[in-house]
């Protein structure tokens, strides 16, 4: 069975852990508990093939940024998460992406841009069009999610692993073409 390492990155409080736990275990974690590092595994089926996803849920706080280079070096695909209710979390993504590209030493890195907390429409400060435009700039897929309301949570991994035309960089073909098995 093929294994793929996916790294979830973003500022503190955007819902990285909530999204990851909702995807892997199907539950919503209400209480915010800042993460240092958590690793999860989930078996998924893609085009009739079983794959094991190893998902690394990373720290969003500044005190743990030194660990990011290691996550980025070992990651094969990246989920960049921001909160639609906090402009600063969206603004942080450009630097995160540049750090990934620097560490990986290539522009060819599979990513999905995720605007989380879309259930909080009344508190929205980052427009959906901003997410779409940034994803176009990054040449990656984009979606809005809600870990709490279970909106698009399971679709995040499928953007990597299936041939959806809106996803410019697909994890599975990328990994196969780069010798990952």
Q: Which domain, by its residues, includes 124?
A: 2-178
Query: What's 34's domain CATH number?
Result: 3.40.50.300
Q: What's the confidence (pLDDT) of residue 159?
A: 56
Which pLDDT score, from 0 to 100, does residue 27 have? 79
Q: For residues 118 and 132, what is the distance between their CA atoms, to the nearest angstrom?
A: 14
Buried residues in 106-126 as b, exposed as e (16+ CB within 10 A): eeebbbbbbbbbbbeeeeeeb
* Three-class HEC string of 110-133: CEEEEEECCCCHHHCCCCHHHHHH
What does each of the 181 residues of the chain score in pLDDT, given as a tens digit? 888 899 999 998 898 888 888 888 887 877 766 556 678 888 887 667 788 889 898 876 555 556 778 889 999 989 999 999 999 999 999 999 999 999 999 988 889 999 999 999 999 999 999 999 999 999 888 899 888 878 877 666 555 554 433 333 344 444 444 444 3
Q: CA angle, corner 113, sides to 110 and 116, nearest 5?
A: 145
Please tell me the pTM assigned to this model.
0.81
The count of structural domains within the chain is: 1
pLDDT of residue 101: 95
> What is the pLDDT, as a whole number, of residue 38?
79
Angle made by CA atoms 138, 139, 140, in degrees to the nearest 5: 90
């Amino acid at each position: 069975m093929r294994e793929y390492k996916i790294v979830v990155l973003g500022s503190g409080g955007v819902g990285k852990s909530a999204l990851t736990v909702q995807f892997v275990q199907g539950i919503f974690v209400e209480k915010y508990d800042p993460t240092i590092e958590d690793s999860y595994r989930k078996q998924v089926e893609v085009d009739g093939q079983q794959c094991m996803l190893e998902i690394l849920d990373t720290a969003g706080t500044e005190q743990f940024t030194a660990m990011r280079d290691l996550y980025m070096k070992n990651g094969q695909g990246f989920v960049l998460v921001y909160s639609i209710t906090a402009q600063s979390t969206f603004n942080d993504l450009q630097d995160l992406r540049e750090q990934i590209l620097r560490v990986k030493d290539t522009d060819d890195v599979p990513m999905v841009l995720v605007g989380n907390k879309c259930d909080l429409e009344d508190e929205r400060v980052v427009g959906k069009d901003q997410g779409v435009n940034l994803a176009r700039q990054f040449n990656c897929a984009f979606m809005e999610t809600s870990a709490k309301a279970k909106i698009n949570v399971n679709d995040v991994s499928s953007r990597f692993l299936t041939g959806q035309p809106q996803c410019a960089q697909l994890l599975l073909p990328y990994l196969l073409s780069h010798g990952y098995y």
